[in-house]
Amino acid sequence: MERSSVRAAMRGAAALCLALALGGCFQPVYGPQAALGGPGTSLRSELQSIAIAPVQGRFGHYLTEELRFLLNGTGDQQSPRYRLTITFTQASQTALVDTVTGRATANSLSARVDYKLLPILGGAPVAEGYVISLADYDRASNRFANVRAARDAEIRNAKALADQIRTRLATTLLAPS
């Protein structure tokens, strides 16, 4: 019994030493001290300086507004240093069909967004890639309920994709050049 308590104490001491040694290594990505290249340049100000190119369609509106909020939720106006261009594709698939009535009971709405972050002054893209999201929704016999459920799935996809894009842009801008 005594031997196990000594081992537990040694593990606790080792964990404490490791935590103390690594304590200053971690910084919150979106915190005010997340510094970039020079003094006074933070990740927050870099994200706020991204201008989003207009995206057509209802889904494009949802995605653009969500990105505007995630990149600059403060409403502060920054002079744009980057331009974010977005193209997207959507597809709807019937996931389940009722064998008695032959009606779809569930759908899946998938969306893929290709993005490119370009410097305003021109040059090579700073970041580019794509993100994918899938949202399922139930279908009912009421067509208005189906329309609303599909729209809610679009909104969920837009929020998920905007969050993925913001995370990828933040990690790209934080990466040492």
Residue written as token pair 């207009």: 54
Question: Looking at residue 95, what is its pLDDT?
Answer: 72
Residues of the chain scoring pLDDT < 50: 39
Q: Of 95, 87, 97, 99, which Cα lies nearest the Cα of 137?
A: 95
Would 135 be classed as within a structural domain? yes
Report the Cα 12 to chain-centroid distance in Å: 37
What is the structure's pLDDT at 25? 59
Q: Which structural domain, as residue segments, surrounds residue 52? A: 32-174
- What is the C-alpha separation between 142 and 144, in angstroms, rounded? 6
Query: Is 2 part of a structural domain of the chain?
Result: no
- Write the DSSP assignment of 52-112 as a string of letters: EPP--HHHHHHHHHHHHHHH-TT-------EEEEEEEEEEEEEEEE-TTT--EEEEEEEEE
Number of domains in the chain: 1
> Is residue 25 one of the residues assigned to a domain?
no
In this prediction, residue 77 carries a pLDDT of 76
What's the CATH number where 58 sits? 3.30.160.150
Task: Residue 131: name the closest of 172, 93, 109, 161 by CA.
Answer: 161
